[in-house]
């Protein structure tokens, strides 16, 4: 049984519609898929509907952008939370709103040197997508400035570049508490992904665990082997759920569906804990 609990559609920075993503997953031989768009749950209905049509199991999820007080980026996956929970929704919407302001500022800075406009960025994003650097990267590709998203990230959109601007993001401990209160299951995404930038110190793990963190995404291409061993040890010590996933973004990233996966017994723990919304087609 192949279970992939971390994927993105074009309602965030993936390149496929939620329905197409589920069809791709069925073709790739997956059995159960979670849709975890950045700061956005508007893809759930279409994904659930397509799961029913294709015989796939579907787990509703989200990936919440967070940042520690010393500015380290943390991504928190949440499964089966109540998407209408007001406190959580307010926090997510604050990040989504600030992402727009921030993207416009990045475009302003870029437009001094490159033929980039806000219009062009909007052409590369779905109307209710969570706007991020990948959409700006796509505009840079269209403008002929770079060949692909990866090159845009490496050369232009990286933190420290004169074009980089950050956005508001919740504290990870607060986000864990909010997900719990929305009856969801919080799982730390790619926790030791050193290539993405600085990673958190041990005490942040423990603060998040004290707040109710339920699991660690251990098997992810951005966690180096040594880091995966450390995460497995921590999961065992703290009785945390262990997940593995692709972090598929369609054509936006090399990650392929099912390249990492979660075991059925670990999924069962998630399904038991998450009561804010419903999975589809899992028996
Ligand atoms: P943002 O959320 O706007 O800060 O942009 C971060 C997003 O960019 C992440 O969710 C990744 O999916 C994506 N990303 C980061 N690095 C790369 C890369 N090298 N190539 C393609 N996408 C990337
Ligand atoms: Fe992404
Ligand atoms: Fe992430
Ligand atoms: Zn992701």
The answer to whether the CB of 195 is under 6 A from ligand 1 is no
Rounded mean pLDDT, 6-34: 98
Q: How far is the CA of 112 from the centre of ligand 4 (A)?
A: 31
Identify the pLDDT of residue 195. 86
* Residue 15 to residue 248: CA distance in whole angstroms: 10
Residue 106 pLDDT > 90: yes
Q: Which of 134, 164, 196 to mutate to test the pocket of ligand 1 (most atoms within 8 A of CB)?
A: 134
Identify the pLDDT of residue 229. 98
Q: pLDDT tens for residues 173-202? A: 999 999 999 999 999 999 999 888 899 999
The CA-to-CA distance between both ends of the chain, in Å, stands at 12
- DSSP label at 22? H
Alpha helix locations (H) across 71-132? 86-111, 118-123
Rounded mean pLDDT, 222-249: 98
Identify the pLDDT of residue 197. 87
CB < 8 Å & 24+ apart, contacts of 17-23 = 17/43, 17/46, 18/43, 18/44, 18/46, 18/47, 18/50, 19/46, 19/47, 19/49, 19/50, 21/47, 21/248, 21/250, 22/47, 22/50, 22/51, 22/54, 22/56, 22/58, 23/50, 23/54
The answer to whether the CB of 190 is under 6 A from ligand 1 is no
Q: Which of 102, 253, 254, 255 to mutate to test the pocket of ligand 1 (most atoms within 8 A of CB)?
A: 253
Q: What percent of the chain has pLDDT over 90?
A: 98
Q: How far is the CA of 191 from the centre of ligand 3 (A)?
A: 9
Identify the pLDDT of residue 1. 96
Q: pLDDT tens for residues 137-169? A: 999 999 999 999 999 999 999 999 999 999 999
Identify the pLDDT of residue 196. 85
The answer to whether the CB of 249 is under 6 A from ligand 1 is yes
Identify the pLDDT of residue 69. 95
Residue 246 pLDDT > 90: yes
Confidence class of residue 283 from pLDDT cuts 50, 70 and 90?
confident
Q: pLDDT tens for residues 257-278? A: 999 999 999 999 999 999 999 9
Identify the pLDDT of residue 50. 98
The answer to whether the CB of 184 is under 6 A from ligand 1 is no
Taken in order 248, 57, 176, 208, the sign of the CA dihedral is negative
Helix (H), strand (E) at residue 218: strand 215-219
Q: pLDDT tens for residues 60-92? A: 999 999 999 999 999 999 999 999 999 999 999
| CA 145 remoteness from chain centre | 27
Compute the mean pLDDT over every residue in the chain, rounded to the nearest whole number.
97
* Residue 278 to residue 75: CA distance in whole angstroms: 22
184 closest CA partner among 81, 269, 87, 37:
81
Closest residue by Cα to atom 12, ligand 1, is 13
Q: pLDDT tens for residues 215-232? A: 999 999 999 999 999 999
Q: How far is the CA of 157 from the centre of ligand 2 (A)?
A: 14
The pTM assigned to this predicted structure is 0.98
Q: How far is the CA of 275 from the centre of ligand 4 (A)?
A: 22
Residue 10 pLDDT > 90: yes
Identify the pLDDT of residue 238. 98
Q: How many helices (H) and strands (E) would you count in the chain?
A: 10, 7
Q: Which of 92, 153, 189, 245 to mutate to test the pocket of ligand 1 (most atoms within 8 A of CB)?
A: 153
Burial class (CB in 10 A: 0-12, 13-18, 19+), 11: buried
The answer to whether the CB of 221 is under 6 A from ligand 1 is no
């Amino acid at each position: 049984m192949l279970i992939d609990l971390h994927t993105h559609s074009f309602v965030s920075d993936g390149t496929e519609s939620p329905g197409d993503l589920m069809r791709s997953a069925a073709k790739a031989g997956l059995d159960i898929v979670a849709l975890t768009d950045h700061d956005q749950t508007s893809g759930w209905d279409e994904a659930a509907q397509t799961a029913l049509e294709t015989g796939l199991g579907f787990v509703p999820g989200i990936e919440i952008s967070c940042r520690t007080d010393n500015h380290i980026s943390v991504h928190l996956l949440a499964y089966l939370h109540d998407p209408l929970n007001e406190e959580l929704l307010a926090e997510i919407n604050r990040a989504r709103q600030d992402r727009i302001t921030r993207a416009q500022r990045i475009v302003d800075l870029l437009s001094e040197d490159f033929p980039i406009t806000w219009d062009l960025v909007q052409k590369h994003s779905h109307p209710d997508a969570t706007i991020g650097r990948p959409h700006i990267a796509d505009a840079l590709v269209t403008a002929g400035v770079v060949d692909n998203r990866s090159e845009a990230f490496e050369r232009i959109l990286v933190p420290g570049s004169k074009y980089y601007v950050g956005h508001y993001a919740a504290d990870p401990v607060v986000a864990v508490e909010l997900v719990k209160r929305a009856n969801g299951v919080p799982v730390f995404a790619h926790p030791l992904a050193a290539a993405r930038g600085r990673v958190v110190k041990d005490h942040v793990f423990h603060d998040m665990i004290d707040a109710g963190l339920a699991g660690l995404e251990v098997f992810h291409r951005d966690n180096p082997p040594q880091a995966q061993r450390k995460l497995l040890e921590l999961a065992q010590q703290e009785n945390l759920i262990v997940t593995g996933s692709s972090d598929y973004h369609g054509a936006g990233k090399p990650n392929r569906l099912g390249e990492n996966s979660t075991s059925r017994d670990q999924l069962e723990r998630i399904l038991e804990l998450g009561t804010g919304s419903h999975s589809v087609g899992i028996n």
